[in-house]
Amino acid sequence: TKFQEENIREDFETFTFQSTFNRDKLNSIYSNLDTVSFYKLMMEKDDLVSKGYNSKLLEEKRHFYLSLPFFLVLMVCLSVIFTLNSNERRQKTYYLILSIITCALVFYFKNFSIALGTTERIPLIIAVWSPVIILSLFCSVGIIQINEK
């Protein structure tokens, strides 16, 4: 709406303005999969695909949510392994440094694996579950080692 000097009003059908954002940028703000809950992802997958979400990324996020409890349990198991292996005070600092380095490596390996899956270098399901499988192998070896002591 535009008012002229004599208070005469003009109506316009469209309004055009210059912006640094385009339609794709604005739509990508609302297509963040981190805001989608696990329940909504499981129950309304077809609805999310019709809203414009990528079906492969929805599948990756679903497997991520399914693997998360296993990953967290294995991380606790890993911390138990480092805690129960140390007896002396000098060994405790060694295991503390080793555990911090190991946790950082696991974190970066998990992100690297997801990045490989997102770029389709490896299948998405393998990308999501491979850190869990490798961590479970590492934890099982550590638990067997503790059990032998």
pTM of model > 0.85: no
Q: What is the C-alpha separation between 65 and 36, in angstroms, rounded?
A: 11
41-93 per-position pLDDT tens digit: 888 888 888 877 778 888 888 888 999 999 999 999 988 888 877 677 777 77
94-122: average pLDDT: 88
Q: Which residue has the tokens 């961590």?
A: 135
- In this prediction, residue 1 carries a pLDDT of 46
pLDDT of residue 129 exceeding 70, the answer is yes
pLDDT of residue 26 exceeding 70, the answer is no
- In this prediction, residue 130 carries a pLDDT of 92
In terms of Cβ atoms closer than 10 Å to its own Cβ (0-12, 13-18, 19+), residue 21 is: exposed
- In this prediction, residue 29 carries a pLDDT of 57
